[in-house]
Chains A and B, each alone.
Chain A
Amino acid sequence: MAIFLTKDSRVLVQGMTGAEGTRHTSRMLAAGTDVVAGVTPGKGGRSVDFGERTVPVFGSVAEAMAETGADVSVVFVPPRFTGGAVEEAVAAGVPLCVVITEGVPVHDAVRFRALANGRTRIIGPNCPGLISPGQSSAGIIPADITSAGRIGLVSKSGTLTYQLMYELRDLGFSTAVGIGGDPVVGTTHIDCLRAFQDDPGTDAIVMIGEIGGDAEERAAAFIAEHVTKPVVAYVAGFTAPEGKTMGHAGAIVSGSSGTAQAKKEALEAVGVRVGRTPSETARLMRSALSEGVPSSGGAAGAERPERGKAAAYGDRARLTE
């Protein structure tokens, strides 16, 4: 199993005829993704030959969905057209819209997030997308650095996602979701934690955060209340100075808020083990899995322990043994 994206997902690519769109559509196909359509306004009726498959191009998302049954859109259009492209996908009612584009104005993200209003799940913007290894990939996450398995991963950062996927490639992943590093994103850590908790194909969760905002703190509160599967975390940006944007538009410490230290403490307070480096985080995941994981499909739900925010990870492990 997996979350949000499976082997049955039918993917359309907005901006497929652009250089990035073509390059990554080819990679998605190689990763096993069922890419069924491209969308480029004004280029409907053409098709693009990817060797093993020729993908038809439509002039609109609605047309592409009607003709091909696509239920996922991946957006590769330049920033100035991204807002319009996502609004079009939302209006067409696509269930999942993955926005890869970096540099999308925050106001556009706020607007398409509001318009989506629970009917379309938006992932991103400024994200690498998501991959369910062995099944499908929607975005730019490299498919050949890891394998299918039972770890779920949610991250603000692309390369840290790749790093962890690679370090844990022998164990493998159910789904890895890059939610993006912008101040306003469509899907949060919490959305992914909830989905992984409910996914019988996921045994444990890696959560990667970074400075800026309070998403990790809210995720910690959510974990305390709703997540029984083991969670290990990593937070980047301890050395970031106040008031400087560190690469990602959302990665900024403002005054005393959004610091890596506060996020680490919030996560540790609810029993999440937080690695000091990506490699240590991978080791923590290995030991979390070898300590005995609640079996998927029964024990986790049946023996969900009653506990407050301060429940220690160790207590949880004992209770679920």
Chain B
Amino acid sequence: MDLYEYQAKELFGRHGIPVPAGRVAATPAEAREIAAELNAPVVIKAQVKTGGRGKAGGIRPAAGPVSAEQEAARVLGMDIKGHVARRVLVEAATVPFEEYYAAFLVDRTEGGFLAMVSGQGGMEIEELAATDPDAIVKLPIDPVTGVDADTARLLAAKSGLPEQAADTLEKLWRVLVEEDALLVEVNPLICTTDQHIVALDGKVTLDDNAYFRHAWEYAERTDSLEDRARAKGLNYVKLDGRVGVIGNGAGLVMSTLDVVAASRSEAISRAAPANFLDIGGGASAQVMADGLEIILADPDVRSVLVNVFGGITACDAVANGIVTALELLGERGHARPIVVRLDGNNAEVGRRILSEARHPAVRQVSTMDGAAETAARLAAGA
């Protein structure tokens, strides 16, 4: 999970990393209050989980409380690359003397940790990596021994950061380890004219698998289908097509989406997948019913494709699950066509169970490719 800048900076503050004085505001009036408390020129920063805020006009200076209110009114509600700014961070304006880049991250390629530090900060790191790759110092970090004071000093020296930045680097490493982060990035990390190191921005990605050992309260609960699915323990991602997809296993569901998308032709050009939904291994009747309920609650869905491979759970059990799920759904299960493909263990028995149930919305296709095509055609009304 990505954190907002203000959340990342709260974390930094708790770990003793200097950040500018400031607070988050949800209304222009709050922004005005915060600016008045700070009693200094401020910067209003859109809180969105995407880059390029500055270029989009999401970062605005304000000389005092009155202009802070005006600027916050402009930034709040701003749409930056599809991310709407619902909050702004109101911060004391801090002037950099020098700008650096510092990050610690999980390196998927090597299966370890990596430090990336550069004496040139401020611009996008991808841009710097493309234009001047030698300006970024990359150092693999031993997962067992980690970053101590000596390693931090070495990192600072190698990348041309002042000596006093070493302490901040060591603390950023501790954020990565102690908070179970996959990424801790500061761009820019700055040195002020009076030689103080300050984290002027912050990006932190936390590991969703590590919730159990933290008291994180970052989840934003909304009424979206994704959150409703999550509340039922389902793995659901909303997409923009019309074929609702439900299956068992993340790989198989991803594959099903691809096969649906690939079966598009001129006549059925709008039959893209409407969602990703993985109901996992067991596919019990209740889980199947919950999954179908979420998918049928999406008004964009015109047809549903249930793609199940009977591996550990045999297809007769899966078929019984589908039949019971449709009983649980009652009338709601009749609204749109449901194409079912069952394959694997006991596939024939499973198909017979579904045939004998004679549910009017259900039709069976025995292959994955054929079922995807049928669901796509039905969604297009072709």
Residue ranges of A at the interface with B (Cβ–Cβ < 8 Å): 27, 79-80, 103-107, 109-111, 113-115, 140-142, 144-145, 155-163, 166, 181, 183-186, 208, 210-215, 218, 234, 236-241, 244-251, 255, 260, 276-280
- Apart from A106-B209, A161-B251, A277-B255, what 8 extra A-B contacts exist at CB < 8 Å? A158-B311, A159-B248, A166-B309, A212-B108, A247-B249, A247-B254, A247-B278, A279-B367
User: Which candidate, B109-117, B130-138, B293-301, B323-331, is the interface stretch facing chain A?
Assistant: B109-117
> Are A214 and B108 closer than 8 Å at their CB atoms?
yes
- Specify the chain A residue showing the minimal Cβ separation from B312: A142
User: Which candidate, B20-28, B33-41, B59-67, B256-264, is the interface stretch facing chain A?
Assistant: B256-264
Q: How far is the CB of B232 from chain A (nearest CB, A)?
A: 15
Provide the bound-state CA to CA distance between A88 and B167, in Å: 34
Q: How far is the CB of B360 from chain A (nearest CB, A)?
A: 29
> Most chain-B CB neighbours within 10 Å: which of A104, A162, A181?
A162
Instruction: Produce 1/0 per residue, B93-126, CB < 8 A to A.
Output: 0000000000000101101110000000000001
Total interface residues on B, CB under 8 Å, equals 51
Choose among A145, A162, A214, A237 the residue that contacts B254 (Cβ–Cβ < 8 A). A237
Choose among B143, B207, B247 the residue that contacts A105 (Cβ–Cβ < 8 A). B207
> Are B111 and A184 closer than 8 Å at their CB atoms?
yes
Provide the bound-state CA to CA distance between A166 and B45, in Å: 54
Provide the bound-state CA to CA distance between A103 and B144, in Å: 21
> Are B258 and A114 closer than 8 Å at their CB atoms?
no
> Are A155 and B312 closer than 8 Å at their CB atoms?
no
Provide the bound-state CA to CA distance between A115 and B143, in Å: 9
B182 within 8 Å of A (CB atoms)? yes
16 A-B residue contacts at CB 8 Å? A107-B180, A113-B143, A160-B255, A161-B251, A163-B252, A163-B344, A210-B254, A213-B109, A214-B109, A238-B257, A239-B239, A239-B272, A240-B276, A249-B209, A250-B108, A276-B262
B320 within 8 Å of A (CB atoms)? no
Interface majority SS (helix, strand, loop, mixed), chain A: loop
> Are A208 and B106 closer than 8 Å at their CB atoms?
no
The B225-246 residues at the A interface (CB cut-off 8 A) are 235, 237, 239
Choose among A142, A277, A278 the residue that contacts B311 (Cβ–Cβ < 8 A). A142
Q: How far is the CB of A184 from chain B (nearest CB, A)?
A: 5
Residues in B whose Cβ lies below 8 Å from that of A106: 106, 180, 182, 207, 209-210
> Most chain-A CB neighbours within 10 Å: which of B207, B235, B273?
B207
> Most chain-A CB neighbours within 10 Å: which of B113, B143, B208, B261?
B143
B368 within 8 Å of A (CB atoms)? yes
> Are B367 and A241 closer than 8 Å at their CB atoms?
no
B3 within 8 Å of A (CB atoms)? no
Q: How far is the CB of A45 from chain B (nearest CB, A)?
A: 30
Give the 8 A-B CB pairs with smallest separation, nearest first.
Answer: A157-B251, A247-B250, A159-B249, A159-B252, A236-B254, A160-B251, A105-B210, A162-B311
Provide the bound-state CA to CA distance between A215 and B262, in Å: 24
Known: A166-B343, A239-B239, A239-B257. A249 touches B208 (CB 8 A): yes
Residues in B whose Cβ lies below 8 Å from that of A109: 111
B29 within 8 Å of A (CB atoms)? no
Choose among B106, B126, B239, B344 the residue that contacts A184 (Cβ–Cβ < 8 A). B106
Residue ranges of B at the interface with A (Cβ–Cβ < 8 Å): 106, 108-109, 111-113, 126, 142-144, 177, 180, 182, 207-210, 212-213, 235, 237, 239, 247-255, 257-262, 272-273, 276, 278, 281, 309, 311-312, 343-345, 367-369
Residues in A whose Cβ lies below 8 Å from that of B343: 163, 166
> Are B235 and A183 closer than 8 Å at their CB atoms?
no
Q: How far is the CB of B330 from chain A (nearest CB, A)?
A: 29
Interface majority SS (helix, strand, loop, mixed), chain B: mixed
Residues in A whose Cβ lies below 8 Å from that of B259: 276-277
Known: A105-B180, A247-B235. A114 touches B144 (CB 8 A): yes
Known: A107-B180, A249-B209, A276-B262. A218 touches B252 (CB 8 A): no
Provide the bound-state CA to CA distance between A27 and B367, in Å: 27
> Are B344 and A145 closer than 8 Å at their CB atoms?
yes
Residues in B whose Cβ lies below 8 Å from that of A161: 251
- Specify the chain B residue showing the minimal Cβ separation from A250: B108
> Are B112 and A159 closer than 8 Å at their CB atoms?
no
> Are A107 and B210 closer than 8 Å at their CB atoms?
yes
Residues in A whose Cβ lies below 8 Å from that of B180: 105-107
- Specify the chain B residue showing the minimal Cβ separation from A155: B251
Known: A163-B252, A166-B343, A238-B261. A110 touches B112 (CB 8 A): yes
Provide the bound-state CA to CA distance between A246 and B142, in Å: 30
Provide the bound-state CA to CA distance between A261 and B276, in Å: 19
Q: How far is the CB of B245 from chain A (nearest CB, A)?
A: 10
Residues in B whose Cβ lies below 8 Å from that of A246: 237, 250, 253-254, 276
> Are B209 and A104 closer than 8 Å at their CB atoms?
yes
Q: How far is the CB of B95 from chain A (nearest CB, A)?
A: 30
Residues in A whose Cβ lies below 8 Å from that of B143: 107, 110-111, 113-114
> Are B254 and A240 closer than 8 Å at their CB atoms?
yes
- Specify the chain B residue showing the minimal Cβ separation from A80: B212
Provide the bound-state CA to CA distance between A181 and B343, in Å: 23
- Specify the chain B residue showing the minimal Cβ separation from A214: B109
Known: A105-B207, A214-B109. A163 touches B262 (CB 8 A): no
Residues in B whose Cβ lies below 8 Å from that of A238: 257-258, 261-262
- Specify the chain A residue showing the minimal Cβ separation from B313: A142
Residues in A whose Cβ lies below 8 Å from that of B182: 106, 183
Choose among B177, B251, B281, B345 the residue that contacts A181 (Cβ–Cβ < 8 A). B251
Provide the bound-state CA to CA distance between A250 and B177, in Å: 19
Residues in B whose Cβ lies below 8 Å from that of A210: 250-251, 254
Residues in B whose Cβ lies below 8 Å from that of A278: 255, 368
> Are A156 and B261 closer than 8 Å at their CB atoms?
no
> Are B276 and A247 closer than 8 Å at their CB atoms?
yes
Known: A210-B251, A246-B276. A239 touches B209 (CB 8 A): no
